[in-house]
């Protein structure tokens, strides 16, 4: 039905983002090839793909992080391009480098630009030189506690520790005072090592109650760069984004214009192409500071898609194929408001991962609701990968409508067999400062456990009815040797007081 | 047979009797803490109930996690313990002074922060378990003393495996 | 989260449209009450409602069409307003009349305007007087074959027979020549009688290959009327719409303006308020002729919602509460393109109804896809009501993108246990004249059964593997008396050649 | 054991042997009309298969309607008859000269258009059945004669009930 510059693309990822990219491929008439680990044979991305290749054992270091195997699959299957999704190899410059060596197109920036923006120290230097404000902090990665202590003392506590090797919140820690530095520094190093294979950490001044606001960028190979408005991602836990929205409740057209221009300058200065995101922190006086460039499609890209009508994945593919951007800056509107909740397989109180089999599932639908998920009824959520299993994104004519649709969608979403963060999201959606748009990166720590118990009596009745039925069934199952007439009597006896 | 259904400090005594089975619903008489009501139950699945009480409609999911019943209604989640009233009489007499800490999910033990014999406070960090790419802190459910440590750094554990005993 | 003029609304309907309206209620913070027949206790609309009242046996004449019972429920439950959905009582002026008598607000036009537009003869006269072109035909309902024959001869064949008492294609027949008139007239009368309780028929000139294009209207109680662009609904079978889209491929801004103005004049001349649709036929020279006013929310309203961003159900509720329209004509844009496929529980070849239990269901999701459905896994599709079980609506930045998303969504939609029209829709989506936008109300008769069999071998293998497993299971089940050791031997023997 | 799998004029002889059972998939050797291939099957449910053949991925739904297996792959639908090769030998000898027309869905007989003894053509209208608010025409599957009429106007019928016999 559609024509495209590529015939065949390899999606080197799994879960919801692999399916997101494959959906774009189907709509463009491109054959979608994917890879999978031994744990993922029955995963949805394998079923959704046109072709699928096993690349190794479950741990991602032996499968999804194996550049050699991914390149092999691309060559064997005759793929012209590789889309990395997010996570795994998406920000590893070795993948575009290997693609360049093999004549395969990498759907993302070239290895040089990716290496530049991925090295946060170098990235800061580059954008600072382009006249963009950065957060006070050092410009060198640190591997040594003594050095860390000196720098922290100079900047003044609180300070922030971050992995130099990657993003996504892994390895990030705030340190409030000198006494906490040692243990936090060591933990951050160990997480950074395990997540990115690089224990280097860098340190910056920690802003009080800042807002995390980022600008979506598209840049082609012909020097055209546009921004697609901001997303606010201040609802975070341990530096992991949980909720994102566009527009930000505090960004007015003037600030949008300024941040958009700064982001474009940062991208131009870095020689960056394809889709990317420039992250800023915004302080209480609406000063913004460059944080980093995310050299990939973001988890939260759908909120931008809903308010602009642009399919970012398709634009990534077109840019990679060398097409000039189809939109000028003036073509990018901002219609209504969109919000995303990331649903994780985690206990909503303790945030401990919850794995297991999804026994029943009903996804939300209806007006203004979009679901991106990698799960299905009967799916076993594996222990090896990120706990993000689904995203709910809602659109409304205004923020209020988008929020009311999100509450409705979260109430509709039923995932049984594992615990998820849905109840946690519902709490945030009902938290007055969030409803008022008056929140920041620490807001989540203020949200109290839910005290809602409107329906506790009905809940108790439902639990009783199900427990009664289970008692009956287990009595039947547990006594295979019993005379059936007697068993029948027992069951009927129980039936008198239940199902 | 009556059940005692408890979620935190909320505790209900519930007795349910089926009055009638129709093609699409079962009618129960439910007595909850002495109040009687008539309840219509349509089973969407064995653990998914559509409940009507006085024409109020509730679409209710019930999940069993061990002895707990997790109930979801419109995004509200309750964790109930459901016990046969008679059974309750027994168990309250058997409470042991020890808490066995088990792994809440499969993972890799990265670090055991406490040593045997240490006095720990409720919520104090006991060990670190890596799963799904995150380091998760396992904390003490109560004040007490570390009586036994059953795992060490580098051990892989499955859900329910015993990690430590707090006495 | 939201405030609304009403506290509580009764939704006097079932299936997907009842859920659509209840979703709007939830988002507005309105308590949603519904009614159900004995066959519908476990239906999704009962589960979705805040309150539900049984109103009678399965046949709709004894339940969903019982105005007296519906009014009783509204009074007992303390509802301030009634939303009728579409179908059932939605176009029966007796319902608004009963509401008016009881001081309940009817979410729709008043009984007088509904009676006027519902009487097609009177409606035509009214709009013709307002200067809007109508199709040549008579202005009187006919109950007698002889009269019908005279009129048909005067207009010249082909002619069209239509039920005077209601819409939705029921009772409609084209008559190509005199010899067919008798049987068609009798059949049309009988269908009209059974669908609307009124056997009167009217006759009009049948246009050759016209296009069915309709204008969505909102009219408040303060004299404000706006139109929300057109929808093209030319893909019809037996005068039942199957696929609708907005914008129409043949409507340019000039024609849109003209048709929009004509529709507003028709609405004003009829004294009509709330949401309504003015249907036109457009001939090959782009002349348009007034067909009728649909005095209700249409099945296909979501396509308009997707290109305008207006939630029509919420606007209906606000209008009914007496609020002035929140939009002027200039606020109504037209962004991108949207298309809807109506999924029915029917055999895709014979169109015979298919009832039974839905054993597995996966609904489509992802970018640009909206699903409105009234089904779930485990649901028994009842024999008593309309076979429409779900709607898939897709949006794209242009028509091509919307269409490619629809194909992708139809491929994702899996409904097992009953047959559905999904394969039929896929055929139309692949039919070149449809892809080119070059179609009309007879196009569907040209679409050939699918000859696609790219995957027939894989299909045959899958059928074999499942059949093998079933054979094994049925052997196990069928021989309860057999020595278990021997049975085990048999099973293993089979296993050698199967699962 | 070989199967004969037929959809309209397409007919395949298929033999499948399971070579290996892994945690997430079964590996089969499938011989189709003499060609051999290795097939990986992951069972999403008993009637929902993920199939990989030479790395090509197919997400396949199978439904049984009576003796037919309806298979859906990416919106393409096939109706297969699957028969044990040996069974086939028997049934082909037993073909009767009569066709029994059964109700394709539950409904109300509105009209029987033909009378007993009438010669009918293939696709000729036989009776009208009302269901789901629509009048549905039941047509003859072949040329023949109306041998028996088993229902009359006003009768309610269920799926599979016999309506007429064409000989």
Q: Count CA atoms closer than 13 A to A470's CA, side-chain side.
A: 20
Maximum alpha-carbon separation in chain D: 61
The one catalytic residue in A296, A318, A342, A472 is A296
Instruction: Retrieve residue D11's tokens.
Output: 């007919």
Distance between start and end Cα atoms, chain B: 35
| Rg over CA atoms, chain A | 25
Q: Which residue has the tokens 């509460």?
A: C321
Q: What separation in angstroms does the CA of C44 have from each of A73, A455, B49, C355?
A: 45, 20, 12, 16
Instruction: Retrieve residue C462's tokens.
Output: 């899958």
Maximum alpha-carbon separation in chain C: 88
Instruction: Retrieve residue C318's tokens.
Output: 């606000």
Instruction: Retrieve residue C270's tokens.
Output: 């009829």
- Phi and psi torsions of B89, nearest 5°: -55, -40
Q: Count CA atoms closer than 13 A to B36's CA, side-chain side.
A: 5
Peptide bond into A169 cis (omega under 30): no
pLDDT > 70 fraction of chain D, expressed in percent and rounded: 92
Which residues 54-113 of chain B have a CB within 8 Å of chain A? 58, 60-64, 69-78, 80, 82, 104-107, 110
Q: How many CB atoms lie within 10 A of CB C153?
A: 12
CATH topology of domain A136-205: Dna Ligase; domain 1 (3.30.1490)
Instruction: State which residues of chain A have pLDDT below 50.
Output: 1-2, 475-499
Interface check D20 vs A, CB under 8 A: no
- Under a CB-based contact definition with an 8 Å cutoff, are residues B164 and B126 in contact? yes
Characterise C376 by phi-psi region: left (phi > 0), alpha (psi -120 to 50), beta (else): beta
- CB < 8 Å to A369, chain C: 370
Residue C198: the pLDDT is 84
C47·B56 Cβ contact <8 A = no
A342 is catalytic: no
B55·C47 Cβ contact <8 A = no
Q: What separation in angstroms does the CA of C54 have from each of A101, B44, C41?
A: 70, 18, 8
- What is the CATH code for C8-107? 3.40.50.20
Query: How far apart are alpha carbons A180 and C477 in whole angstroms?
Result: 66
- Under a CB-based contact definition with an 8 Å cutoff, are residues D118 and D146 in contact? yes
Which residues are CB-contacts of A333 (< 8 A; sequence separation ≥ 6)? Answer: A307, A308, A309
B57·C39 Cβ contact <8 A = no
Task: Break chain C down into helix, strand, coil percent, rounded to 5.
Answer: 40, 25, 35
Coil, helix or strand at residue B144: strand
Interface check C48 vs B, CB under 8 A: yes
Give how far the C-alpha of residue D104 lies from the chain's centroid of Cα atoms, to the nearest Å.
12
Residue A136: the pLDDT is 83
| For residues B42-50, average pLDDT | 94
Instruction: Retrieve residue C15's tokens.
Output: 């299936």
**Closest partner CB to D14 (pick from C352, C461, C466):** C461
Residue D23: the pLDDT is 87
CB pairs under 8 A between A and C: 100
pTM of the model: 0.85
**DSSP assignments along C166-191, one per residue:** --TTTT-EEE-SHHHHHHHHHHHHHH
Same fold, B2-84 and B89-166: no
Nearest residue in A to C307, CA atom = A309
pLDDT category, B140, cuts 50, 70, 90?
confident
DSSP structure class, residue C446: G
Q: Which of D122, A30, D136, A148 is nearest to C383 (CA)?
A: D136
Structural domain spans, chain A: 8-107, 136-205, 211-451, 453-488
DSSP structure class, residue A63: T
- Under a CB-based contact definition with an 8 Å cutoff, are residues A52 and D57 in contact? yes
| Rg over CA atoms, chain C | 25
Which residues are CB-contacts of B8 (< 8 A; sequence separation ≥ 6)? Answer: none
Query: How far apart are alpha carbons C443 and C441 in whole angstroms?
Result: 6
**Closest partner CB to B52 (pick from C48, C52, C378):** C52
CATH topology of domain B89-166: OB fold (Dihydrolipoamide Acetyltransferase, E2P) (2.40.50)
Q: Which of C200, C374, C56, C194 is nearest to D133 (CA)?
A: C194
C465·D28 Cβ contact <8 A = yes
Give how far the C-alpha of residue C422 lies from the chain's centroid of Cα atoms, to the nearest Å.
15
What mean pLDDT, rounded, does chain B reach? 86
- Under a CB-based contact definition with an 8 Å cutoff, are residues C104 and C80 in contact? yes
Give the ranges where C294-447 is alpha helix by DSSP (H): 301-308, 312-320, 399-412, 422-429, 432-435
Query: How far apart are alpha carbons A93 and A112 in whole angstroms?
Result: 7
Structural domain spans, chain B: 2-84, 89-166
Query: How far apart are alpha carbons C288 and C427 in whole angstroms?
Result: 29
Give the ranges where C310-430 is alpha helix by DSSP (H): 312-320, 399-412, 422-429
Q: Which residue has the tokens 């224990």?
A: A199
Query: How far apart are alpha carbons C315 and A143 in whole angstroms?
Result: 60
Interface check D50 vs A, CB under 8 A: yes
- CB < 8 Å to A378, chain D: 44-45
The one catalytic residue in C296, C370, C427, C472 is C296
Query: How far apart are alpha carbons A382 and A359 in whole angstroms?
Result: 14
Residue D91: the pLDDT is 44
Who wins on pLDDT, D97 or C457?
C457
- Under a CB-based contact definition with an 8 Å cutoff, are residues A162 and A202 in contact? yes
Instruction: Retrieve residue C127's tokens.
Output: 């709009």
Query: How far apart are alpha carbons A429 and A242 in whole angstroms?
Result: 12
- The helix (run of H) or strand (run of E) holding residue A99 is helix A94-102
The burial class, CB within 10 Å (0-12 / 13-18 / 19+), for A330 is exposed
| For residues B89-112, average pLDDT | 69
Coil, helix or strand at residue C244: strand
Query: How far apart are alpha carbons B85 and C302 in whole angstroms?
Result: 53
Interface check A335 vs C, CB under 8 A: yes
Q: Which residue has the tokens 């089975």?
A: B21
- What is the CATH code for D2-84? 3.30.700.30
pLDDT tens, residue order, chain C (499 aa): 445 679 999 999 999 999 999 999 999 999 999 999 999 999 999 999 999 999 999 999 999 999 999 999 999 999 999 999 999 999 999 999 999 999 999 999 999 999 999 988 889 899 999 999 998 886 778 888 999 999 999 888 999 998 887 766 677 888 999 999 999 999 888 888 888 888 888 898 888 899 999 999 999 999 999 999 999 999 999 889 999 999 999 999 999 999 999 999 999 999 999 999 999 999 989 999 999 999 999 999 999 999 999 999 999 999 999 999 999 999 999 999 999 999 999 988 888 888 889 999 999 999 999 999 999 999 999 989 999 999 999 999 999 999 999 999 999 999 999 999 999 999 999 999 999 999 999 999 988 776 677 899 999 999 999 998 876 655 444 444 433 333 333 333 232 232 2
B76·A459 Cβ contact <8 A = yes
Q: Count CA atoms closer than 13 A to A448's CA, side-chain side.
A: 5
**Closest partner CB to D78 (pick from C386, C456, C496):** C456
CATH topology of domain A211-451: D-amino Acid Aminotransferase; Chain A, domain 1 (3.30.470)
**Closest partner CB to A416 (pick from B49, B61, B159):** B61
- Under a CB-based contact definition with an 8 Å cutoff, are residues A462 and B7 in contact? no
Residue C156: the pLDDT is 87
Measure the CA dihedral C75/C81/C82/C83, to 10°. Answer: -160
Least confident segment among A358-362, B72-76, B134-138, C399-403: B134-138
Characterise C448 by phi-psi region: left (phi > 0), alpha (psi -120 to 50), beta (else): beta
Interface check A16 vs C, CB under 8 A: no
Which residues are CB-contacts of A473 (< 8 A; sequence separation ≥ 6)? Answer: none
- Under a CB-based contact definition with an 8 Å cutoff, are residues A165 and A194 in contact? no
Query: How far apart are alpha carbons A424 and A345 in whole angstroms?
Result: 12
């Amino acid at each position: 039905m559609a024509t495209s510059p590529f015939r065949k693309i390899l999606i080197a990822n799994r879960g919801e983002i692999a399916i997101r990219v494959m959906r774009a491929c189907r709509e463009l008439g491109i054959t979608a090839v994917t890879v999978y680990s031994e744990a993922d044979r029955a995963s949805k991305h394998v079923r959704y793909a046109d072709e699928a290749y096993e690349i190794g054992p479950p741990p991602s270091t032996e499968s999804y992080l194996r550049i050699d195997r991914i390149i092999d699959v691309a060559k064997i299957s005759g793929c012209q391009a590789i889309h990395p999704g997010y996570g795994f190899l998406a920000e590893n410059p070795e993948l575009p480098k290997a693609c360049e060596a093999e004549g395969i197109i990498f759907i993302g920036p070239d290895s040089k630009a990716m290496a530049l923006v991925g090295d946060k120290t170098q990235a800061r230097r580059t954008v600072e030189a382009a006249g963009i404000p950065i957060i006070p902090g050092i410009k060198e990665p640190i591997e040594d506690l003594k050095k860390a202590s000196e720098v922290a003392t100079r900047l003044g506590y609180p300070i922030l520790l971050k992995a130099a090797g990657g993003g996504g919140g892994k390895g990030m820690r705030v340190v409030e005072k000198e006494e906490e530095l040692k243990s936090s520094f060591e933990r951050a190093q160990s997480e950074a090592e395990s997540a990115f294979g690089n224990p280097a950490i860098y340190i910056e001044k920690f802003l009080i109650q800042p807002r995390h606001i980022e600008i979506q960028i598209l840049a082609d190979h012909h020097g055209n760069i546009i921004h697609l408005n901001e997303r606010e991602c201040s609802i975070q836990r341990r530096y992991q984004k949980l909720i994102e929205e566009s527009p930000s409740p505090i960004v007015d057209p003037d600030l949008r214009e300024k941040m958009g221009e700064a982001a474009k300058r940062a991208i131009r200065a870095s020689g960056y192409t394809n889709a990317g995101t420039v992250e800023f922190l915004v302080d209480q006086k609406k000063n913004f500071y460059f944080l980093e460039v995310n050299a990939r499609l973001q988890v939260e890209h759908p909120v931008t898609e809903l308010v602009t009508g642009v399919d970012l994945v398709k634009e990534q593919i077109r840019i990679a194929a060398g097409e000039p951007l189809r939109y000028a800056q003036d073509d990018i509107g901002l219609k209504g408001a969109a919000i995303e909740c990331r649903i994780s397989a985690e206990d909503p109180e303790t945030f401990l991962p919850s794995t297991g089999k999804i026994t029943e599932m009903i996804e939300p639908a209806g007006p203004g609701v979009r679901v991106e998920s990698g799960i299905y009824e009967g799916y076993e959520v594996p222990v090896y990968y990120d706990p993000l299993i689904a995203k709910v994104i809602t659109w409304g004519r205004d923020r209020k409508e988008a929020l009311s649709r999100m509450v409705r969608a979260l109430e509709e979403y039923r995932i049984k067999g594992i615990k998820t963060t849905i109840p946690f999201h519902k709490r945030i959606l009902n938290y007055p400062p969030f409803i008022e748009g008056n929140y920041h990166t620490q807001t989540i720590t203020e949200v109290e456990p839910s005290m809602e118990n409107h329906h506790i009596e009905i809940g108790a009745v439902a639990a009783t009815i199900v427990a009664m039925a289970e008692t009956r069934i287990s009595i039947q199952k547990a006594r295979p040797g019993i005379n059936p007439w007697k068993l029948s009597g027992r069951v009927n006896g129980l039936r008198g007081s239940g199902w | 047979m009556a059940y005692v259904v408890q979620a935190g400090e909320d505790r209900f005594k519930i007795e349910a009797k089926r009055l009638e089975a129709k093609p699409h619903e079962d009618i129960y008489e439910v007595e909850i803490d002495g109040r009687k009501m008539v309840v219509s139950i349509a089973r969407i699945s064995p653990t998914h109930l559509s409940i009507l009480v006085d024409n109020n409609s509730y679409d209710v999911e019930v999940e069993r996690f061990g002895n707990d019943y997790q109930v979801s209604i419109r995004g509200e989640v309750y964790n109930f313990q459901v016990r046969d009233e008679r059974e309750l009489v027994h168990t309250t007499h058997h409470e042991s002074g020890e808490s066995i800490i088990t792994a809440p999910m499969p993972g890799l033990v990265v670090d055991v922060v406490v040593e045997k014999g240490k006095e720990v406070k409720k919520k104090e960090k006991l060990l670190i378990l890596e799963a799904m790419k995150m380091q998760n802190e396992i904390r003490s459910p109560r004040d007490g003393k570390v009586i036994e440590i059953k795992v060490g750094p580098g051990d892989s554990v499955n859900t329910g495996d015993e990690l430590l005993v707090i006495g």
